[in-house]
Amino acid sequence: MVFAFADCELDPDRFELRRDGAVQPVEPQVFDVLVMLLGERHRVVTKDELLDTVWGDRFVSESTLTSRVKAARRAIGDDGTEQRLIRTVRGRGYQFVGEVTTSGTDSRPAPSRPEQRIRFCTTPDEVRLAYATSGDGPPRVKAANWLSHLDYDWESPVWRHWMTELSRRFRLVRYDERGCGLSDWEVPEFSFDAWVDDLETVVDAAGLDSFPLLGVSQGAPVAIAFAARHPGRVSHLVLLGGFAQGRRKRAQTSDELDLVHARIDIARAAWGRPDATYRQVFVARFLPEGTQEEWRIFDELQHRPTSPENAWRFLNEFADIDVADLAPKVTAPTLVLCSRREPDNMFEQSRLLAGLIPDSRLVPLESANHLLPERDPAWRHFLAEVDTFLSTA
């Protein structure tokens, strides 16, 4: 259902707010506030209801809600003085009071899932890796990152829009790293160097000579190391939410180091438990502005692609990654993107990478999310920047 009011349209199915037909950037929690107020416009929605629906069991202050309502008013051309559209009921909550008409969603068909072809290759140390191609056109390679599953990714709302959009643009080559997804889980070596070797094995098996390379999260340092090792093979490098140094490497105080070890220990002790309480430590890190439903979906992704033991091994190895010396050796044109409000000072890590890699450009995204949900305006910004950057690839 699309809500039309004033000069605006709010489309919950497409996660879009449009004014005069133009899509407006809106933070996910602000969007959720608008959806609830419009859906319950016949009554006053209490502050507690908004807090429970938008933030779930996460504790946030009432001032946080107030700031989101203020942002919602600003996005739709209202303000706290006139209150033409959103009325404050002092001591109770808020009510949408503007005139609203509703209609069904537009008739544009949802993009169909491209055909995916899964193949296997074997590394020099006898690990079987699964890799897949989807879409048509020139190849673009995505370095593997944690929590992937070549088959399940198409079902999961965490990755589905990534696979759909990237496959629509070009022939996407991606793979599950060792210990994860459809690749072998019981492996002789779990190391950063092995992950870089695995990327080399996959692109060799796919018959690729020169290609643009995308690295997301810890896939970014893997992509950097590969580009430094094979300067002639990477034509363009795109990094999202990447880092130069893992958390243990960049810890500057004993308290920071204790926190790193605590997170790793939580994974070892509680990753396989049916209760998601402990895994939510990691959900909050990846999707701090996610909805309660997105948190639930992301937790499903966390325990599906790998074993609890491997989850601990991944996190332990991530903490020691360090490509600060390799980054200056990258010769490919590089686009570095990161959510500006990411926890753990991640934006500073991306800023560091952009300073270390010659001929690179840093693009801040207006979000706090590490993995961008489809509903996050930063997702469309990311796609637009990548399209422009790779237009000459």
**Structure confidence by residue, pLDDT tens digits, 134-146:** 998 899 999 999 8
* Locus of tokens 């005139």: 99
CA distance 197 to 53: 45
User: Picking from 2-6, 126-130, 145-149, 348-352, which range would have the lowest pLDDT averaged per residue?
Assistant: 145-149
CA distance 234 to 32: 40
Residue 112 has pLDDT above 70, yes or no: no
Residues 95 and 128 in one domain: no
| pLDDT given at position 256 | 92
Decide if 305 is inside a domain.
Answer: yes
Which whole-number Å values give the CA distances from 381 to 26, 191, 205, 228, 386, in the listed order?
12, 33, 33, 28, 9
Residues 378 and 257 in one domain: yes
Decide if 356 is inside a domain.
Answer: yes
| pLDDT given at position 106 | 47
Strand ordering across the sheet containing 139-142: 116-122, 128-134, 171-175, 139-142, 211-216, 234-240, 334-339, 360-365
User: Picking from 35-44, 109-118, 224-233, 330-339, which range would have the lowest pLDDT averaged per residue?
Assistant: 109-118
Decide if 111 is inside a domain.
Answer: no
CB atoms within 10 A of CB 195: 25
CA distance 353 to 269: 33
| pLDDT given at position 107 | 42
Residue finishing a domain among 103, 130, 162? 103
| pLDDT given at position 16 | 85
Task: State the amino acid at position 332 in one-letter form.
Answer: A
Give the contacts of 392 (CB within 8 A, at least 6 positions apart).
Answer: none
| 54-99 pLDDT per residue, tens | 876 566 788 889 999 999 999 999 998 989 999 999 888 999 999 9
- Phi and psi dihedrals of 163, rounded to 5? -65, -40
Residues 82 and 45 in one domain: yes
Residue 109 has pLDDT above 80, yes or no: no
Cα 163 off chain centre by: 12
- Phi and psi dihedrals of 212, rounded to 5? -70, 145
Decide if 110 is inside a domain.
Answer: no
Residues 182 and 219 in one domain: yes
| pLDDT given at position 105 | 52
> What's the CATH code of the domain at 66?
1.10.10.10
| pLDDT given at position 197 | 97
Calculate mean pLDDT across residues 147-157.
89
Contact 187, 156 (CB under 8 A): no
Which whole-number Å values give the CA distances from 145 to 136, 159, 217, 244, 325, in the listed order?
23, 12, 7, 15, 21
Residues 155 and 88 in one domain: no
* Average per-residue pLDDT for the chain: 90
First-to-final CA distance of the chain: 39
Calculate mean pLDDT across residues 121-146.
94
How many CA within 13 A on the CB side of residue 49? 14
Decide if 189 is inside a domain.
Answer: yes
| pLDDT given at position 108 | 45
Total number of domains in the chain = 2
How many CA within 13 A on the CB side of residue 268? 10
Residues 54 and 149 in one domain: no
**pTM, rounded to two decimals:** 0.75
Residues 59 and 121 in one domain: no
Show the domain range for 348: 116-392
Residue 280 has pLDDT above 50, yes or no: yes
More confidently predicted of 217 and 48: 217
* Locus of tokens 């044109």: 333
Decide if 109 is inside a domain.
Answer: no
Residues 316 and 381 in one domain: yes
CA angle 301, 306, 312 (to 5 degrees): 105
Residues 180 and 91 in one domain: no
Residue 393 has pLDDT above 80, yes or no: no
What DSSP character marks residue 141? E
Question: Considering only CA atoms, which of 244, 315, 249, 257 is closest in space to residue 285?
Answer: 315
Pairing mode, strands 8-11 and 101-103:
unpaired
How many CA within 13 A on the CB side of residue 189? 13
Contact 2, 104 (CB under 8 A): yes
> What percentage of the chain carries pLDDT values higher than 90?
66
Residues 25 and 75 in one domain: yes
| pLDDT given at position 177 | 95
Give the burial class of 230: count Cβ atoms within 10 A of its Cβ; 0-12 exposed, 13-18 middle, 19 or more buried: middle
> What's the CATH code of the domain at 254?
3.40.50.1820
pLDDT tier, 267 (very low <50, low <70, confident <90, very high otherwise): confident
